[in-house]
Amino acid sequence: MKIKTLPYDVAETLRTPDEMAAYLEACIEDADGDAAFIAKALGDIARAQGMTQIARQTGLSRESLYKALSGDRSPSFDTVLKVISALGLKLSAGVQEKAEVV
């Protein structure tokens, strides 16, 4: 018997703002400085909320958002800030723990 698998789409599982924020935070921690990886995470969250709605709120076209948040490129910081705001999320900073040098 053959097993049929379907592609996993995280956007289908992100339902609440808390889940979306936790997902983005985890992706930022795992990104290791890869801006395109973080952009892809924002794209996943935007698709979960509805890309058309996010496009309206940011003033950007749906097509340009799909491209910017595809993970194939690093979007401008301006675009990232607009998308974060439209998603109802906030960007914050903290002090990074330094590894002890022995």
- Closest by CA to 70, choosing from 35, 31, 25, 18, is 35
The radius of gyration of the chain from alpha carbons, rounded to an integer in Å, stands at: 16
User: pLDDT by residue (tens digit) across 1-50?
Assistant: 899 998 999 999 999 999 999 999 999 999 998 999 999 999 999 999 99
Cα separations (Å) of 78 from 19, 53, 58, 70, 83?
A: 24, 18, 10, 16, 9
Is the per-residue pLDDT at 54 higher than 90? yes
**pLDDT the model gives residue 11:** 95
pLDDT in tens, 84-98: 999 999 988 888 777
* 101 has a pLDDT exceeding 80: no
Return the pLDDT at 102: 66
Cβ atoms < 10 Å from Cβ of 17: 13
pLDDT at residue 40 in the model: 96
Q: How far apart are CA 73 and CA 19, in angstroms?
A: 25
pTM: 0.86
Per-residue model confidence (pLDDT) at position 95 = 87
